[in-house]
Amino acid sequence: MSTKSTRNFCYNYIMYIFAESIYWGSLVFTLLAPFAIFGLYKKSPRAAYLAILFFLVFLWARFIEPQWIRVKEIDLQKELGVKIALISDTHMGVYKNPSFLKRAVSKINAFEPDVVLIAGDSLYFSKDPEKDLGALSGLNAPTFAVLGNHDVEQSGKYIKDKTKDALEKAGVKILENEVVDLEKFQLFGLGELWEEKSDLEILQKRSADKQSIVLIHNPDAVLNFTGSDKFKNLLVLAGHTHCGQIRIPILYRFVIPTKGNFPRGGVYKLPQNSKLIVSCGLGEIGLPARLFNPPEIILINL
């Protein structure tokens, strides 16, 4: 094993232990905190009131907001008559269970999209990828996905093939530097940026008479979209950022893992009349919590 592989193994294994510890530790804290607050109240009522406030925020961020699925509609007024459902960063595994994904699938089906697009990071320390992603088989519309950084390496073990197998068994078509010609638009799926598998040359296959939609995981990929007509009039869809996940003002910007300035979800204007839409995602990493930033499904009307 190379020095880099050993370092990645150690880092990912530590993060796995951390995630498991945080998950179970948060449950223990929830059970024990009321007793601690009651004891604190006897000594200092004012401090106990502050502790109660903190505990309520903790309960919301840990147990309520991560389970609340918001649907955000974006109307780009392209008059193509196409409805796209975009999801990203489901991070099924240690923090998210199949019942959550099943609820998300039901919400997507209720809007009857023409196509469903998944912008990577389907897994997060998953012990059973097929079980965790199985609910995607319930999607009624054709579904396409790209892979994210968490889909290609976990705990030092390369799991890209397992991720692809699980998605494909759920009826999801994976695009890795591939193009699909659909009835009203072309869909390009790029490889994972951090894996250095993102091949922009596939955009040479653009059709002049169709809208081009590019599905990526990391929005930083658009920083390379310069210097060529092949980057004109694109609609680029991405995830990865979680929009900070826990959006404490100012502080959340320091945890967004991008070089580009993508601090929020929604629409960004790009050069050459192109647009980027970033999803805040459905799942969590690091901490099993969200604050001021619920999981979301984006419905795009073209």
Closest CA to 244 of 300, 296, 284, 297: 284
Can you name the residues that pair with 269 across neighbouring β-strands?
A: 275
Kindly report the three-state secondary structure assignment for every residue of 121-163.
CCEECCCCHHHHHHHHHHCCCCEEEECCHHHHCECCECCHHHH
What per-residue string of b and e applies to 231-240 under the rule 16 or more CB within 10 Å gives b? beebbbbbbb
Tokens 């092949």 appear where? Answer: 230
Output the pLDDT for position 279: 98
Output the pLDDT for position 7: 65
Output the pLDDT for position 2: 55
- Report pTM: 0.94
Backbone angles phi, psi at 280, to 5 degrees: -80, -5
Output the pLDDT for position 145: 98
User: Cβ(231)–Cβ(203) under 8 Å?
Assistant: yes
Output the pLDDT for position 77: 75
Tokens 């510890």 appear where? Answer: 21
The beta strand positions in the chain, using DSSP E, are 70-75, 83-87, 92-93, 115-119, 123-124, 143-146, 172-174, 178-181, 185-189, 211-215, 234-238, 266-270, 274-278, 296-301
Question: What type of residue sits at position 265?
Answer: G
The alpha carbons of the chain give a radius of gyration, in whole angstroms, of: 20
Instruction: Map residue 74 onto helix, strand or coil.
Output: strand
Count of alpha carbons within 13 angstroms of residue 216, beta-carbon side:
31
Helix (H) or strand (E) holding 240: none
pLDDT of the chain, 302 residues: tens digit per residue:
556 566 666 777 788 899 999 999 999 999 999 999 999 998 999 999 999 999 999 999 999 999 999 999 999 976 789 999 999 999 999 999 999 999 999 999 999 999 999 999 999 999 899 999 999 999 999 999 999 999 987 655 567 889 999 999 999 999 999 999 999 999 999 999 998 999 999 999 999 889 999 999 999 999 999 888 889 999 999 999 999 999 999 999 999 999 999 999 999 999 999 999 999 999 999 999 999 999 999 999 99
In sequence order, the 6+-apart residues with CB closer than 8 A to the CB of 105 are 135, 136, 138, 139
**Per-state percent for the chain, helix, strand, coil, to nearest 5:** 40, 20, 35
